Structure 1
């Protein structure tokens, strides 16, 4: 009995070390994947906070993107990846189906309500598509792995979704070279900015004690990830 308990504890520790959910967390009826009130609240709060950042980034976007685009047309997609970070952060914290989409969408709505130069509907549509890009990566891992590599892949997925959306809506008929540069820049920027910075942001919140009711906070407290 003691040996069994020890083996179980060891397995749980190993899974925590890779950011993987313990089988015991699934519960009957998939309790692990059910949203709690605190999940809804935190996803909304994160979405609102990041939405203000999105709006501010849009205000200064022109002076930032113009020289980058002049240097190499299409490269401006890399810094645009900051608009993808909400979905990655929401997914890493809440760890439930729909968390990435919800958080990114809330951020887009807030940005649109404050005032977006790209218009309200297109801003919200972009948030939905970009959140879906990150969500699909988390779903690919069955909402069980939450380490840095998965965060980077989620950011890259959001970047690919952003590139496809932008090339269809804003750059239709663009030259193949521009399309390739824009797509690669969006994917790399998404991985590094949305994925990497998003993962670091969640780690920072956890270390500050703001995520004690979430697995991300408990794992960081144990030094598991």
Structure 2
């Protein structure tokens, strides 16, 4: 008769059953119908704001007579849909989609800039998209929003002052200053205000169907 086997240590378990994953769950990248609908609605609303701002901008030009490049400080009004769309939808392409649709709507309503707004929309949307991509569409904190606004402003300023050359009377130094002012406007209007708007909307429950529904509970940094 063989000796009885030693009692099994019930506190131990096979490695295969105790191994846990420490990798964060990847963000859901695919667009849903609700994402498309919300992005489109936001973009159209922003396009109407663009159209109204185009009219207002023509009327406030006198405010910048003393130093014309300072007009870049209010250019963030043409940048915010990119950052806002990216923060709300949180899917690849959301920033670009929102900015370009907004630009298209403003062109359809009538813009003194003509169809060039489509190219501007692409460049500006690309700025926010690049930053969100760098963070793999998984971080939407205030610094990320500010960086998105910054790059959107820089690319938008380069597009306006150097590529399309909207200001042929500016010296090269003035054009660089315009780009810097537009970058500042992008940080404040497109970055900060879009981040605050997203948190505010999330707090009301209006974003309950979106990935940004808990934005108001997320850390600032």
Normalising to structure 1: TM-score of the pair? 0.82
SS of equivalent to 1:79: helix
Cα distance between partner residues in 2 of 1:37 and 1:95: 14
Cα distance between partner residues in 2 of 1:101 and 1:82: 16
Match of 2:111 among 113, 116, 119: 116
Q: Which residue of 1 aligns with 2:13?
A: none
Match of 2:151 among 139, 147, 157: 157
In the TM superposition, residue 173 of structure 1 has moved relative to its aligned partner by 7.6
Per-residue displacement from partner, 1:5-51 (whole Å, max 9, x unpaired)? xxx9xx9xxxxxxxxxx82244xxxxx11111111111101000111
Match of 1:204 among 177, 188, 200: 200
The question of 1:24 aligning with 2:31 is answered no
Larger relative helix fraction? 1
1:67-78 paired onto structure 2 within 5 Å: 67-68=63-64, 70-78=65-73
Cα distance between partner residues in 1 of 2:218 and 2:117: 38
Q: CA RMSD in A?
A: 1.8
- 223 and 91 in structure 1: CA distance in 2 versus 1, 3 angstrom threshold: closer
The total of aligned residue pairs comes to 198
Per-residue displacement from partner, 1:39-71 (whole Å, max 9, x unpaired)? 111110100011111110001102223312x12
- Judge conservation of contact 2:29–2:91 (CA < 8 Å) in 1: yes
Cα distance between partner residues in 1 of 2:177 and 2:128: 21
Mark the runs of 5 or more structure 1 residues left unpaired by the alignment. Answer: 1-7, 12-21, 27-31
Cα distance between partner residues in 2 of 1:71 and 1:149: 33
Normalising to structure 2: TM-score of the pair? 0.84
Q: Which residue of 1 aligns with 2:102?
A: 107
Q: Which residue of 2 aligns with 1:55?
A: 51
Specify the structure having the higher radius of gyration (Cα): 2
